[in-house]
Amino acid sequence: MTETEELDLESWIGRPTGAGVVHVERAVVTNFAKSVLDDRPLYRDRDAAVAAGFDDIPAPPTFYFSALQNYSRWAEEQPPDPTGGVNPMAEVMGRLIATGGLILHGEQEFTYHRPVVVGDRLEYTGVVKDLYQKQAGERTMTFLVVETTYTDGDGQPVVTSTMNLLHRS
Amino acid sequence: MAEAALQFDEVNVGDTAPEFSHTLTRTDLVAYAGASGDFNPMHTDEVAAQAAGLPSVFGHGMFTAGLLAKAVTDYVGVGNLANLKVRFTKQTWPDEVLTTKVVVTDKREEDGRRLVDLEVEVANGDGEVKVAGTAVALAD
């Protein structure tokens, strides 16, 4: 049996990767901006942010990938896990890495529908958009595309984050 | 809610944003790990990285993307970014000088919005591209 058959690529497409609620918190935002060496005052000084036209300190463009997910989910507000305990990211990449090789972050895209500022409460859902394989010489490259959509209290999209994770055998 | 945007009538294809350069340090990677919550030891633990056969720790791709996003928003104004899409092409290593490049490739009107297309990248001192992609900014 080939790796492809074992994985049944199509069966993973469309499956949920998670859902949750996040709060955009000031210290997390300010520390993140500092860590990517963005020293603009509007990321640490609310008066500077208001003077620039924002309601509060804005989130930097790449904030949504990790900081928001890792630090801003209050446990008591999280919805039930929609994956049924089988997270496609962990499952697919886990199976592949068990055979050796390397997992890499291949691509990342953000679409911004409106600015996000400190105090915003956002809901998100993640879904497998694609799972495909390519041969590169002797190596099999497996690409997993996960789209995470953040929405506001009215259900309007705020930010869409698309990650392309790849396993190289 | 946004800073002052690019002036659509004054932007031209081929315009470039000011470059941002930075020499990557291990402290940058530890600080980014803490701020992002990504504690993969390949980025923060020299002992573990060498045990895995690497010459040293290497940078988070998203750290480099963060430097690039800073250069882009310094140019287009915070709050005016509509899209950012990057590919991670090479790993970054401590002591490399990382420099951003942001170039205007098109300007267009779509659905009543004035948009500026940008080609964006980060390369080291030898011109090896680490992160490359595109951005779309809203203009006035």
The count of other CB atoms within 10 Å of the CB of residue A46 is: 16
| Residue type, position A119, single letter | G
Which residues on adjacent β-strands are paired with residue A117?
Answer: A58
Q: How far apart are CA A81 and CA B15, in angstroms?
A: 47
Alpha-carbon distance B20 to nearest alpha carbon in chain A (angstroms): 10
pLDDT in the model for residue A5: 46
pLDDT tier at B136 (50, 70, 90 boundaries)? very high
Q: How far apart are CA B65 and CA B72, in angstroms?
A: 10
B7 pLDDT more than 60: yes
| Torsion from C-alpha of A31, A36, A38, A41, nearest 10 degrees | 0
pLDDT in the model for residue A85: 87
A85 touches chain B (CB under 8 A): no
Which residues on adjacent β-strands are paired with residue B125?
Answer: none
Q: What is the pLDDT along chain A (169 residues), one digit of tens a residue?
A: 445 447 889 999 999 999 999 999 999 999 999 999 999 999 999 999 999 999 999 999 999 999 999 999 999 999 999 998 889 999 999 999 999 888 889 999 999 999 999 999 999 999 999 999 999 999 999 999 999 999 999 999 999 999 999 999 8
Task: Return the exposure string of A77-112: e unless at least 16 CB atoms fall within 10 Å of the residue's CB, then b.
Answer: eeeeeebeeebbbebbbeebeeeebeeebbbbbbbb
Alpha-helical segments (H) within chain A: 3-7, 9-12, 26-35, 46-51, 67-71, 88-97
SS3 call for A78: coil
Instruction: Match 């500026």 to its residue by tokens.
Output: B116
Residues B48-82 pLDDT 10s = 999 999 999 999 999 999 999 999 999 999 999 99
pLDDT tier at B1 (50, 70, 90 boundaries)? confident
Q: How far apart are CA B130 and CA B90, in angstroms?
A: 5
Q: Which residues of B touch A111 (CB under 8 A)?
A: 82-83
Least CB–CB distance from A66: residue in B37, B67, B79: B37
What would the mean pLDDT of B88-98 be, rounded to a whole number? 97
B42 pLDDT more than 90: yes
Tell me if the pTM is above 0.90: yes
Tokens representing A13 are 């497409």
B120 pLDDT more than 80: yes
pLDDT in the model for residue A159: 98
What would the mean pLDDT of B22-28 be, rounded to a whole number? 98
End-to-end CA distance of chain A: give it in Å, rounded: 16
pLDDT in the model for residue A1: 40
Over pLDDT 70: what percentage of chain B?
Answer: 100
Q: How far apart are CA B35 and CA A86, in angstroms?
A: 28
Residues B54-63 pLDDT 10s = 999 999 999 9
SS3 for chain B is: CCCCCECHHHCCCCCECCCCEEECCHHHHHHHHHHHCCCCHHHHCHHHHHHCCCCCCCCCHHHHHHHHHHHHHHHHCCCCEEEEEEEECCCCCCCCEEEEEEEEEEEEEECCEEEEEEEEEEECCCCCEEEEEEEEEEEC
SS3 for A59-76 is: CCCCCCCCHHHHHCCCHH
Least CB–CB distance from A112: residue in B37, B62, B83: B83
A105 touches chain B (CB under 8 A): yes
To the nearest whole number, what is the mean pLDDT of chain B? 97
B135 pLDDT more than 90: yes
Least CB–CB distance from A70: residue in B22, B37, B79: B37
